[in-house]
Structure 1
Amino acid sequence: MNRRDVLKVLGAGCWGWGGVPIRRARNDVFVERWSWAMGQVVHVMLFAGSERAGLDACAAALAELRRVESRLTLFDAASDLCELNRCAGRTIMRADADLRAVLTLANRFKAITGGAFDVAVEPLMRAWGFHRPRSAAPAAAELREARAAVAAAVVELDGDRVRLPNAHTQLDFGGIGVGYGIDRALGMLRARGVTRAFVDVSGDVAAIGAPPGEAGWLVEIADPRRAGRSIAVTRLRDAALATSANTESVIRYASLVVGHVMDPATGWPARALTQATVVARSATAADALSTAMLVAGREPDGVVRSWTAGRVGGQQSRGPHRRTRLPD
């Protein structure tokens, strides 16, 4: 999703985070690149030994994001994900490392969140018109059918072989693919010796180290109900942050406005919270767990810190919540 309006990175370029010039040292040449990948704006910031080395590292990170996108997107018939969906109920598919990794993680996060996160929501996304345009909201019978397809979905993994035994199963990596891509991009940066970097894919972000002289990369989480205001400001160091909200990517059916994050249990777009932001050890975890928190209205296991905006059980919920650890 496009989360640009719900997150800001404070400070960039050659200035310190308090407006004071950063004292330069070895590997402290600041480099940044703006680009486009995974259908969203991408911002890469890092410190390197030279401008050339920094630009090369940025290019490698962007190339990795685009490579992952080509494998896992639902909007290119040649992608591995689309091929797997075509195999549903028919044949076993041999999956490459990326597809196997994402499916393994998706199964894990589904279990951790009690089903609040589920990559099998594609039938609901389609029913509500997010994948195929439609002129009216789905009827109750159509939603029941889509919800049944989600509930019956099973992903069988055996080494490099993957099978979707139910012909109605269709997967959508919208709640995990960007996070996985960011983690892969960070891996490319680390392989090039980068020890201070920040990757932002339209609001899903992750950090390596921190800017010189700082405790972490400073990030502001915007208040979805009050323009120009923030819920919190936090620092990221060797961690990731993701925000899920049903206020950015929406479809309107007359007076009905629906967001794109689906609740697998009800078949309706998630309504427990207006916005959920989480910090986790990896971008993949932050992506999936922020989705689950928006759906369930509570913090799932694996979250380091979280902030919410919205109503849960009639009570306003804002601010940081408990700390947990991502299971090994």
Structure 2
Amino acid sequence: MKRFTRFLLLCLAATTYSAQTQAEWHYDKQSIMGTEVTVQLWHDDDQQAAQLIEQVMAEFRRLDDELSPYKEDSELSRVNREAATQAVMLSDELAALIDKSLWYSELTGGAFDISFATLGKHYNFRKHQQADKTLTQSLLEALNYRHLHFDKNAQTLRFGHSKTRIDLGGIAKGYAVDRAVAILQKADVCCASVSAGGDARMLGDKRGEPWLVGIRHPRDKDKTAAVIPLNDSAISTSGDYERYFIDDRDTRVHHIFNPATGKPADTTAGDSDKLISVSIIGPRGFDTDPLSTSVFVLGKDKGLALIDRLPGFEAVVIDSNKRLFFSRGLANPK
């Protein structure tokens, strides 16, 4: 009997080993939400892996359909059309995004503000177009998160200024990678990485090793400024190199707006407080995404001070002189 039990255990062990050796990494990349979405996961069934990847991509497409300010039939576009004249009922999902966005607006003193679209919609980075001084001044009053009258109980949103508009570009991709990871968690995937542009989230580790996430050098796309080992974490990077053009005054015009000025956040060389890249590490993309934008706008000193006050979050920032700085937990690891 003991001999049979030992034989059975050996067979089970051999079966388990065989299943493990058949497992492999599965990968896909698609253009969704105006960026490249990539999925990498470990699975022992090719068909199930392909189905899971398609579920993830379908979720990104669904969110793009609902949250894009460029698609006329999206829920966000409907809100932008109607909220200046009446309170608009929101879906549970959009209500949660608005609620979180306004929470970060309060936390950062307005550095994070989804009403940046009031002026942001007048910029076209592909065509090198930007709002002129007159238009900026005329719309600046409408760019203020305090014009977003959100009734959490009724789940409605109304704009307090007729020209106010919103855009969730500073939070939607981080939320999307969280949704993707939730799909994979539900399917008992042990190890995966999902990214959408500058936002990424890792599920588990990389088969016994940490995921090594490179932070791009903001002035040389072929170089890496830092490599961060991560497990079960999210990381979001905001930089003035993602969407930008150089205008006729040799000024870098990029997509991260300073709500106080209604213009892209100033990254003038020579000022050590001004940033050109911000990476935030934390548990969820729903938080790291808005925080990376916030720290970029706040600048090095105020931005790092904010992250040092938030448990569970770390930051890597690069100033306009291309020097790296770290939040307290990364600078002084225990």
TM-score range for the pair, normalised by the shorter chain length: 0.7 to 0.9
Q: 1:235 and 2:237 equivalent? A: no
Q: CA, structure 1 residues 107+137, in 2 after alignment: closer, same or farther (shift >3 Å)?
A: closer
Counterpart contact for 1:119–1:171, Cα < 8 Å: yes
1:201-220 equivalent positions in 2, closer than 5 A:
201-214=196-209, 216-220=210-214
Q: 1:248 and 2:242 equivalent? A: yes
> What is the one-letter code of the residue matched to 1:275?
S
Deviations 1:238-263 (A, max 9, x none): 11111111123114442243111100
Q: CA, structure 1 residues 236+265, in 2 after alignment: closer, same or farther (shift >3 Å)?
A: same
Q: 1:309 aligns with which of 304, 318, 322?
A: 318
Corresponding residue for residue 282 of structure 1: 284
Corresponding residue for residue 149 of structure 1: 142
Give the Cα–Cα distance (whole angstroms) in 1 for the partners of residues 188 and 322 of structure 2.
Answer: 44
Deviations 1:113-155 (A, max 9, x none): 221111111112134x23996866512x422232211125223
Give the Cα–Cα distance (whole angstroms) in 1 for the partners of residues 130 and 315 of structure 2.
Answer: 35
Deviations 1:156-203 (A, max 9, x none): 123353122322221011111111111111111111111211001123
Give the Cα–Cα distance (whole angstroms) in 2 for the partners of residues 27 and 92 of structure 1.
Answer: 55
Corresponding residue for residue 60 of structure 1: 55
Counterpart contact for 2:173–2:196, Cα < 8 Å: yes
Q: Look up the SS of the partner of 1:289 in the other structure.
A: helix
Give the Cα–Cα distance (whole angstroms) in 2 for the partners of residues 32 and 276 of structure 1.
Answer: 27
Counterpart contact for 1:68–1:98, Cα < 8 Å: no
Deviation at 1:291, TM superposition (A): 0.5
Q: 1:87 and 2:89 equivalent? A: no
Deviation at 1:294, TM superposition (A): 0.8
User: Which has the higher Rg, Structure 1 or Structure 2?
Assistant: 2
Structure 1 or 2: more helix by fraction: 2
What value does the CA root-mean-square deviation take over the aligned residues?
2.4
Q: Tell me, which stretches of 5 or more residues in structure 1 are unaligned? A: 1-22
Q: 1:184 and 2:179 equivalent? A: yes
Greater shift, 24-33 or 240-249, is seen at 24-33
Q: Look up the SS of the partner of 2:183 in the other structure.
A: helix
Q: How many residues are matched?
A: 296
Give the Cα–Cα distance (whole angstroms) in 2 for the partners of residues 211 and 135 of structure 1.
Answer: 43
Q: 2:190 aligns with which of 180, 188, 195?
A: 195
Corresponding residue for residue 13 of structure 1: none
Q: Tell me, which stretches of 5 or more residues in structure 2 are unaligned? A: 1-17, 267-273
Q: CA, structure 1 residues 171+132, in 2 after alignment: closer, same or farther (shift >3 Å)?
A: farther
Give the Cα–Cα distance (whole angstroms) in 1 for the partners of residues 142 and 197 of structure 2.
Answer: 31
> What is the one-letter code of the residue matched to 1:145?
S
Q: Look up the SS of the partner of 2:30 in the other structure.
A: strand
Counterpart contact for 1:95–1:160, Cα < 8 Å: no
> What is the one-letter code of the residue matched to 1:304?
F
Give the Cα–Cα distance (whole angstroms) in 2 for the partners of residues 147 and 32 of structure 1.
Answer: 44
Corresponding residue for residue 218 of structure 2: 224
Q: Look up the SS of the partner of 1:294 in the other structure.
A: helix
Give the Cα–Cα distance (whole angstroms) in 2 for the partners of residues 130 and 276 of structure 1.
Answer: 23
TM-score (norm: length of structure 1)? 0.83
Q: Look up the SS of the partner of 2:278 in the other structure.
A: strand
Q: CA, structure 1 residues 220+24, in 2 after alignment: closer, same or farther (shift >3 Å)?
A: farther
1:259-298 equivalent positions in 2, closer than 5 A:
259-271=254-266, 272-297=274-299, 298=303
Deviation at 1:322, TM superposition (A): 2.1
Higher relative contact order (CA 8 A, sep 6+): 1
Counterpart contact for 1:96–1:160, Cα < 8 Å: no
Corresponding residue for residue 327 of structure 2: 321
Give the Cα–Cα distance (whole angstroms) in 2 for the partners of residues 318 and 150 of structure 1.
Answer: 32
